[in-house]
Amino acid sequence: MHEAAAMQAIIPIILHRMHQAGASRVINVQLVLGASGHLTAEAAHQHVEALVAGTPIAGASLTIQWLAAQYQCFFCLHRFESGEPSNQVTCPACGEAALEIGHQDVCAVSAIAVSCEEEHVCVLEDRDSSSHG
């Protein structure tokens, strides 16, 4: 549930930025997430969808940029980084299974696209909205 708490922390930030821009709704949210074995794109979408229900963010598309996690191969011991979900990661050297040995706990909004009353779309970049665990 750590991921849900980190995502919950960014919802007020998104709403604040939307109101600052004088916008009526959010069209797209761009998140930066640390790749780890605990969170998949599907789970991230589900968390956000549940958290934004009934808000001006509801219905917005979600774009995710994954920060790479570190892995080590079980077979050849090769160390490497990958932004893929851990259940899809295999060693690039030998193709065998790899173990996640480190990741960044990051959940940040990199930008949002909002719609104003005149249906004008604005993209707001936000570098200071991270939630680190």
With b for 16 or more beta-carbon neighbours within 10 A and e for fewer, the 40-62 pattern comes to: beeebeebbeebbeebbbeebeb
Mean pLDDT score, 79-107: 89
- Which residue, 67, 92, 89, is CA-closest to 78? 92
Summarised one tens digit per residue, pLDDT across range 2-18 is 666 778 889 999 999 99
Please report, in angstroms and rounded to a whole number, the separation of the first and last CA atoms in the chain: 11
- Which residue, 84, 112, 96, 93, is CA-closest to 19? 112
Instruction: State the chain's mean pLDDT as an integer.
Output: 84
Predicted model pTM:
0.73
> CATH class for domain 2-68+107-132?
alpha beta
- Given this model, what pLDDT does residue 1 score? 44
DSSP line for 45-94: HHHHHHHHTTSTTTT-EEEEEEEPEEEEETTT--EEEE-S-GGG-B-TTT
- Given this model, what pLDDT does residue 40 score? 78
Identify how many contiguous H helices and E strands the chain contains and give both numbers.
Answer: 2, 8
- Given this model, what pLDDT does residue 120 score? 59
Asked if residue 81 has pLDDT above 80, the reply is: yes
**CB 114 within 8 Å of CB 21:** yes
Residue type, 29: V
- For the chain, give every domain's residue range: 2-68+107-132
CA distance linking residue 111 with residue 101, whole number of Å = 29
